[in-house]
Each structure stands twice: as structure tokens, then as C-alpha cells.
């Protein structure tokens, strides 16, 4: 059977149409692929610098945090409470560094948040520095005050030594018969019911007793004996009956006094200190004087 020319031509045309269609599809795909490649190349050309900049920002932020960590490590104080606060802030810095290192540089919102936290931690550190400087200034002042107190104590010791030397000199004059001398200087505390006590809360008055020793060469006549009583803080106790007196060139205030008639024989006398509002716990110092001499010193311990 012979082939039909018309049928063959149609089949040939159909094959050519399919081939052309396939070729057009391939061209379209090639064009799309080329476009995609172009887009990728364009994005890489423009996006890579941005990523690089973000990586640099992250590195700079990390470097600043590490520097801040070193600055925190350099802070120290003798104050326990402040040291505890410093330890907390150091832990916060370390935790923030760890979070920064784990965060992608492209996460800009998180990086900005870390930058704000860095600023806050810096502000906190400046406040610590101010507190430490203040404490150091206070410590320097206390050290200077302590040194001044030691100097004052040394001067007080020297003053006491000078007073002892004066007492020794006056003792020599007593031997020559020019100055009175006392013995048995003693002070007791009494309650409202006039009973001895050693409790500050029960004390209402103090009684000081002493004897002016016998000395036939001493001046005869009235002699007033003064006592000066100082509380545990070194404050002179006085009341409405307190008076001042002169001993040599020095003007002193007495807590109480008593006048006796001295005729060269030993005279015992008692001096009460009344009307003191309150007594506190500690050691009370009692000194006895006449206008010519220091008679002696005793102390009283109240619980």
C-alpha cells in the first residue's frame, strides 16, 4: 500500500510544531534561569557589604563588652555590700558577652538591644566608681582622725606626765611645810535610800571622802576642797551649785566643794555631788583640789 502524501506532510508539520514548541520552552527556561542568576549576583553584590558591616558592628560590640568586663574586674572595695553588688554586675556582663557571641550579626534588633544594655552597665559602673571614691575619701578621713586621736592621746599622756611632775614638786613643798596634802581619796555611789551601789541606774548621788594630812607648818584657817567629776565620756558633771575656782594661773570649774577649818591636824571631810540628772555605765574620774594644789585622783566604776 502506498503512503498518502498528504498524511505524511501533516505528520511532518506536527513533528516540526512540537520541535518548535519544545525549543521555545527551552529558550524561555534559559531566559528565566539567566534572570535568576542575575538576581542572585545582584543580591550578593549588594547584600555582602551589609553583612560584612553587621559583622564588624558585632565585633566592635563584643570588644567593648570585653573591655567593660576588664574594667569591672579592676574595681574593688572594702565594703561587703558594695562587693556583692559588683559581683552581680560582673555576672551580668559575662552573661551579656555570651549572648552577643551566640547572636547572628544580621539580627539587628537584638544587637541594638545589647548596645542599650552595654550603656546601662557602663552607667552602673560609673556609679560604683563614685561610691568607691567616696568610701576611699571617708577611709582617708577616718585614718587622719585616728592619727589625730593618737597624737591627742600622746599629748594627754605628756600632759599627765607633766601633771605628775608638778605633783612630785608639790610633794617636795609639802615636805617643806608649804602645801597641804591629802590621803584616802575615795568615791562611792548611793541610792535614794542612801545605800551604796555600783549600778548606774540606781545612783542618785556621789560621795567623795578624803583626809587632809597633819602638817604643823601648813597655813591654818578655812580651807575649801573642790572636786571635779568626769563621766565615762570625759564630760564634767555640774549642777546649779557648781562653782569655779583658781588654782595657780588656771581657772577651773568644780562639780562640788566643801570648806573645813584646818588647824594643822588631820581633818577628814566628805563632799556630796547631788542633782545630777542621769548616770551612765562606765568609769567616773574624780579629782580633788584646793586653790593651792592638786590633792589627788580616784575613780569609780558603775555597771
216 phi/psi in degrees, rounded to 5: -65, -20
Q: How far is CA 15 from CA 20, 22, 23, 27, 257, in A?
A: 9, 11, 12, 18, 146
- For position 192, what pLDDT does the model report? 93
- For position 4, what pLDDT does the model report? 67
- For position 199, what pLDDT does the model report? 95
- For position 130, what pLDDT does the model report? 79
- For position 288, what pLDDT does the model report? 95
- For position 46, what pLDDT does the model report? 47
- For position 234, what pLDDT does the model report? 93
For residue 210, the tally of other CB atoms under 10 A from its CB is 24
- For position 238, what pLDDT does the model report? 93
Packed helices 80-102 and 5-73: angle between N→C axes, nearest 10 degrees: 160
- For position 207, what pLDDT does the model report? 96
- 276 within 8 A of 235, measured Cβ to Cβ: no
Tens-level pLDDT at each residue, the chain (303 residues): 455 677 777 777 777 777 777 777 777 776 666 666 555 555 554 445 666 767 777 788 788 878 888 888 878 777 778 778 878 888 888 888 888 788 876 777 787 887 888 788 888 878 877 788 777 777 677 767 767 777 877 777 887 777 777 766 655 555 556 688 999 999 999 999 999 999 999 999 999 999 999 988 888 899 999 999 999 999 999 998 889 999 878 899 999 999 999 998 999 999 999 999 999 999 999 999 999 889 999 999 999
- For position 34, what pLDDT does the model report? 63
- For position 38, what pLDDT does the model report? 55
- For position 51, what pLDDT does the model report? 67
- For position 171, what pLDDT does the model report? 59
What grid cell was written down for 293? 594644789
176 phi/psi in degrees, rounded to 5: -85, -5
Amino acid at each position: 500500500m502506498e503512503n498518502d502524501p498528504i498524511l505524511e506532510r501533516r505528520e511532518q508539520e506536527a513533528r516540526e510544531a512540537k520541535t518548535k514548541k519544545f525549543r521555545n520552552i527551552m529558550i524561555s527556561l534559559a531566559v528565566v534561569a539567566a534572570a535568576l542568576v542575575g538576581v542572585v549576583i545582584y543580591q550578593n553584590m549588594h547584600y555582602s557589604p551589609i553583612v560584612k558591616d553587621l559583622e564588624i558592628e558585632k565585633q566592635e560590640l563584643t570588644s567593648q563588652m570585653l573591655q567593660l568586663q576588664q574594667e569591672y574586674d579592676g574595681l574593688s572595695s572594702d565594703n561587703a555590700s558594695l562587693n556583692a553588688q559588683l559581683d552581680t554586675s560582673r555576672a551580668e556582663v559575662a552573661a551579656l558577652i555570651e549572648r552577643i557571641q551566640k547572636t547572628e550579626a544580621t539580627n539587628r534588633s537584638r544587637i541594638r538591644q545589647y548596645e542599650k544594655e552595654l550603656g546601662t552597665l557602663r552607667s552602673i559602673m560609673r556609679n560604683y566608681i563614685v561610691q568607691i571614691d567616696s568610701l576611699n575619701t571617708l577611709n582617708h578621713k577616718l585614718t587622719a582622725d585616728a592619727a589625730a586621736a593618737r597624737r591627742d592621746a600622746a599629748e594627754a599622756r605628756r600632759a599627765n606626765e607633766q601633771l605628775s611632775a608638778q605633783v612630785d614638786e608639790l610633794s617636795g613643798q609639802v615636805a617643806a611645810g608649804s602645801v597641804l596634802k591629802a590621803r584616802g581619796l575615795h568615791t562611792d555611789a548611793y541610792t535614794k535610800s542612801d545605800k551604796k551601789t555600783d549600778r548606774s541606774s540606781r545612783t542618785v548621788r556621789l560621795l567623795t571622802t578624803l583626809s587632809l594630812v597633819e602638817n604643823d607648818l601648813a597655813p591654818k584657817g578655812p580651807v575649801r576642797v573642790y572636786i571635779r567629776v568626769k563621766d565615762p565620756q570625759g564630760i564634767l558633771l555640774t549642777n546649779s551649785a557648781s562653782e569655779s575656782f583658781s588654782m595657780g594661773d588656771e581657772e577651773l570649774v568644780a562639780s562640788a566643794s566643801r570648806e573645813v577649818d584646818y588647824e594643822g591636824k588631820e581633818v577628814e571631810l566628805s563632799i556630796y555631788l547631788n542633782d545630777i540628772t542621769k548616770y551612765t555605765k562606765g568609769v567616773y574620774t574624780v579629782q580633788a583640789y584646793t586653790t593651792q594644789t592638786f590633792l589627788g585622783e580616784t575613780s569609780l566604776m558603775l555597771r
